[in-house]
């Protein structure tokens, strides 16, 4: 690279050549050995550290303005009095509106060093006024536990979106809170959790397993085997336990689910998990980039590797969802392909299989009829959030002071918001026929109103009422009582 930089006839961006070269080498190894560029590394680090330094708002570019969807509770913007619907016009003297700025430029202007000050010029549409506000940038948490709530009088529910540095502390506090509220049964939701720090999954598993029980084994190139076992007294070693997984639950999520399943500690509910059983170690490079190299395989307590084959290359490996969809696995348990030659036994002698993900004890198909699953996915995406924001932007005063029940009633009493959503999607290039799914669409729209007007807990309390996996668990716990 030095030779090219000093002698090549034209100026070239050697950073891009490095990216191409390193990625070409790593692609020949496995799909999880990767190079992370300097620019991407900052975002990755923030996610895994569970915090960032900034002004603490959820926002998006609405038309030509930076619109605040909601200030993060307790963050700098919240403390400074900013509200949902406010437009950010200037950051210090830098103009933010009318320019369609890319996200990375916006982040650069709003983020900064901890303790540094920022003057924002704000337009508040609801009061038709422009004003300036001074705030101090500070650490803002990025939660890895989305919510902890009581699904019924005796069943607690905890949703974990990834395994970051703060995950165990967030989880433990949530677990103790739910126990105080009377939770004798616990649901841990690991759906769409792609993993993270292996150690945090181990710490959480330790809360459910008795001293000395095996959590996982790892084996490296030199055939060295390391065992990780539960220690001391966990906070929930005897209560009923259910773990929810789906085709996007991977890595650390599978470690936790596998430890629970192989020790017969709880019931795994959902669909076969992703199938990642490789352990990476990160090597930082001098320019701020890093390489994550696979250095070991991990095995569940029964001895199974749940890593699925990547012999057909990275593209086929990551497109496995389409394969599962076409072979019917996402809709019928008997379509799940397991390796009969890779049979293992749990502590109590139940048969489990290796070779590609964690197969649940209780299968729950995708929501809706075959072909309708995209509706639920769409309603849980950012599209419905942006739609609800734009509706509130027109009539926020009409919702002021309403209770959760009153908000839901207002959204559901007519087809006003359903019809507006169809029109909104059409404007954005999606010509969808949703009349048959009207009930579920209205349900998620109402839930999103609750999220933006109230909080995450109210959102999840509503969404979980129509969640098939949660319904299955609650019906089973009712039977057992």
Q: Are 170 and 161 in contact (CB under 8 A)?
A: no
- What fold is seen in the domain 145-288+296-363? 2-enoyl-CoA Hydratase; Chain A, domain 1 (3.90.226)
Answering whether pTM is above 0.85, one says yes
H or E element, residue 91: strand 87-91
Chain centroid to CA 118: how far? 30
Please report the pLDDT score of residue 369 as a whole number. Answer: 56
Which CATH architecture describes the domain 51-141? Roll (2.30)
Rounded CA-CA distance 481/473 in Å is: 12
Please report the pLDDT score of residue 410 as a whole number. Answer: 95
Please report the pLDDT score of residue 449 as a whole number. Answer: 97
Q: What is the pLDDT of residues 100-133, one digit of tens each?
A: 787 778 888 898 899 999 999 999 988 999 999 9
pLDDT < 50 positions in the chain: none
Q: Judging by beta carbons within 10 Å of its beta carbon (0-12, 13-18, 19+), is residue 142 exposed, middle or buried? A: middle
Please report the pLDDT score of residue 19 as a whole number. Answer: 78
Rounded CA-CA distance 194/204 in Å is: 16
Rounded CA-CA distance 150/187 in Å is: 10
Please report the pLDDT score of residue 314 as a whole number. Answer: 80
Please report the pLDDT score of residue 442 as a whole number. Answer: 94
Please report the pLDDT score of residue 419 as a whole number. Answer: 94
Rounded CA-CA distance 114/353 in Å is: 49
Element counts in the chain: helices (H) and strands (E): 17, 21
Rounded CA-CA distance 309/386 in Å is: 39
């Amino acid at each position: 690279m030095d030779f090219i930089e000093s002698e090549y006839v034209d100026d070239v961006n050697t950073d891009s050549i490095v990216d191409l070269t390193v990625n070409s080498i790593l692609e020949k190894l496995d799909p999880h050995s990767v190079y992370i560029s300097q620019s991407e590394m900052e975002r990755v680090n923030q996610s895994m550290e569970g915090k960032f330094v900034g002004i603490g708002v959820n926002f998006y570019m609405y038309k030509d303005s930076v619109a605040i969807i909601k200030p993060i509770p307790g963050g700098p913007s919240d403390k400074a009095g900013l509200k949902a619907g406010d437009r950010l016009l200037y950051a210090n003297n830098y103009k933010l509106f009318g320019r369609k700025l890319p996200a990375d430029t916006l982040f650069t202007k709003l983020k900064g060093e901890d303790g540094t000050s920022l003057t924002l010029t704000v337009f508040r549409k609801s009061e038709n006024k422009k004003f300036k506000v001074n705030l101090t940038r500070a650490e803002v948490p990025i939660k890895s536990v989305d919510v902890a709530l009581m699904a019924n009088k005796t069943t607690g529910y905890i949703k974990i979106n990834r395994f970051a540095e703060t995950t165990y502390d967030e989880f433990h506090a949530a677990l103790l809170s739910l126990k105080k509220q009377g939770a004798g049964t616990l649901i841990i939701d690991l759906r769409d959790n792609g993993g993270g720090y292996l150690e945090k999954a181990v710490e959480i598993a330790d809360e459910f397993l008795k001293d000395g029980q095996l959590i996982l084994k790892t084996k490296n190139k030199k055939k060295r085997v390391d065992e990780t076992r539960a220690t001391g007294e966990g906070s929930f070693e005897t209560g009923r336990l259910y773990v929810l997984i789906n085709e996007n639950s991977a890595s650390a999520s599978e470690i936790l689910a596998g430890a629970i399943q192989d020790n017969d500690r709880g019931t795994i509910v959902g669909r076969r998990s992703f199938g990642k059983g490789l352990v990476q170690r990160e090597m930082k490079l001098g320019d701020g980039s890093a390489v994550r190299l696979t250095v070991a395989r991990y095995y569940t307590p029964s001895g199974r590797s749940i890593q699925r084959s990547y012999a057909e290359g990275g593209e086929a490996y990551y497109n496995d969802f389409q394969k599962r969809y076409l072979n019917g696995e996402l809709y019928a348990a008997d379509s799940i392909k397991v390796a009969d030659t890779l049979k293992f036994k749990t502590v109590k002698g139940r048969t489990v299989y290796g070779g590609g993900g964690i197969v649940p004890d209780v299968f729950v198909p995708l929501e809706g009829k075959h072909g309708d699953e995209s509706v639920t996915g769409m309603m849980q995406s950012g599209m419905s959030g942006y739609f609800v924001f734009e509706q509130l932007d027109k009539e926020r005063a009409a919702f002021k002071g309403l209770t959760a029940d009153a908000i839901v009633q207002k959204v559901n009493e007519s087809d006003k918001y359903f019809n507006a959503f169809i029109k909104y999607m059409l404007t954005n290039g999606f010509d969808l026929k949703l009349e048959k799914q009207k009930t579920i669409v209205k349900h998620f729209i109402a839930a999103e109103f609750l999220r933006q007007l109230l909080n995450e807990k109210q959102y999840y309390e509503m969404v979980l009422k129509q969640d098939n996996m949660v319904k299955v668990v609650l019906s089973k716990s009712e039977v057992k009582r």
